[in-house]
Amino acid sequence: MNTSKKYLIICFVGMVLLANTQAVFALSMGGLSEKPVAQPDNLTFSNVKSYSYVAIFNHASPQPESYIVLRSIGQTVTGSPDDGVTYYVGDAIANARVVYIGSTPEFSPSWVVAGTTYFHSIFSFNGTSGNESYLTTNPLSGSVTTPPNMIDDYYDGINSNSENFIEALQNLIRPHNAFAYGSYTPVMINGFEARDTTGGQKVVYCVYTGYAYVYNEPFGWIGTPGGTLSREHTFPHSWFPTHPSTSGVEYSDFYNLFPVHQNNANNRRSNHPLGVVQTVTYQFLDGKLGRDSQNNIVYEPRDSHKGDAARALFYMLTRYHNSDGNEWYLPPQQNQDILKFWHFTDPPDAWEKARNDYIHSQQGNRNPFVDSIHFVAKIDFQTMQWMRVEQVKIQHFNACVYPNPFAGYTTVEVETFKPGQFSATIYSVKGIPVYSTERSLASGTTAIELNLKHLPTGAYIFRFVFDGKASAIKVVKL
């Protein structure tokens, strides 16, 4: 073979090797898959509840390998996925998060709460592991709004002004479908409380402190590798008349159980009453242990859970008082005025309402104090007795004060039938003003919590003025 032919052969082989090397290099660099040419269509929503919904859509034609769904809250999705990037459920893209990746044209995302509008954008894509090619033009879009609650006619026939109000509530919420204590993970964590987060992981929050426990499934409590959370009895087990038994339905009632950090929240709270910490002895994130203004040891959860905790205690007392021959009362060390104050200042939010609806779907009963913020006015949880609440009714508004008599905190509940200016002034029996508050009110019901600990014991007159009309009621400070 002459030199020129050898040279041509070598050049040809070199070109083939170079071409193959370039192809291998391109694959190793993650060459993109072929981009889809069509988006799916006809997005619909079914089985919409305050805590879940199902989304269904039609396949694109021709059908791609997969779909990725972005969801934002309260506004349309502004972002889109980038070619060559592998995303996981829970990843953030612009103002949205990935809630579904798959080839099936149906999904049911986690972390759904009441009275919220969710916007979605669905994109076709081909490829995996860094070779993804996303069709980002004209994604399929749609929104769904969850109901504000699922109370329906649950409280028909309940009259809080009746002397048998507490008994009527008890008959309504008991008995319930009982679950084992160990069922909290599959039912509550996996079914409602776990939230998708970045990298395909999930997160569950400590309700007392705000601590975020991030994990790869399966979820594990303290004692399992990496586990830090435990199931907290908001109404402490040691307060139960049935203590130390753990076999009763009260021990595993989901309305009283919440995930908290075991070492830095559960152990620290122990069975101390809930209260306002003035002198901190231990703090972990937003949860505090310390002394209150009366030098009692109390635990103070983060602000966003204070009302939730109060309503858990109110539920347990109402559900189990005089049940199976046991009497349940708020113990003397637990200040009910603080709990009622938290109840009004931290009213049920969208998450708590959805949780109430979800537990109702499982246990078959509800927490009435999540559903009605006004029921607590009629119950003395220290004695579990119904309290009569005096009302004043004049043109354009109704008002009442509860509890009356009161020890430190009391509430002025105002029902207005049109917007206007409202004021409340407290006078001593000698006619001397000792307290006043004023604010603009919209139509509807407003609860105004008052801290009157500074007033001496005795009788007082509350004078209300709304829209130029006035009325008064006698109250007693204990």
CA distance 235 to 257: 9
> Which CA distances in Å does 85 have to 93, 131, 412, 464?
11, 7, 57, 63
pLDDT value, residue 341: 82
Quickly list DSSP for 287-336: EEEEE-TTS-EEEE--HHHHHHHHHHHHHHHHHHTTBTTB-----TTS-H
* Helix or strand holding residue 16 (H, E): helix 3-28
CATH T-level topology, domain 41-145: Immunoglobulin-like (2.60.40)
pLDDT value, residue 5: 43
CB 216 within 8 A of CB 224: no
pLDDT value, residue 467: 84
CATH T-level topology, domain 389-477: Immunoglobulin-like (2.60.40)
CB 441 within 8 A of CB 416: yes
Question: Under DSSP, is residue 446 helix (H, G, I), strand (E, B) or coil?
Answer: strand
In the chain, which stretches have pLDDT less than 70? 1-30
Please state, as a whole number, how many other Cβ atoms lie within 10 Å of the Cβ of residue 261.
Answer: 25
pLDDT value, residue 20: 39
pLDDT value, residue 469: 85
Domain 41-145 shares a fold with domain 389-477: yes
pLDDT value, residue 374: 83
The residue ranges of every structural domain in the chain are: 1-29, 41-145, 165-380, 389-477
pLDDT value, residue 435: 92
> Which CA distances in Å does 72 have to 79, 94, 136, 205, 451?
10, 9, 17, 21, 40
pLDDT value, residue 10: 36
> Which CA distances in Å does 67 have to 15, 112, 338, 344?
40, 21, 50, 44
Q: Which amino acid, residue 134?
A: Y
pLDDT value, residue 362: 98
- Residue 424 token pair: 């409340």
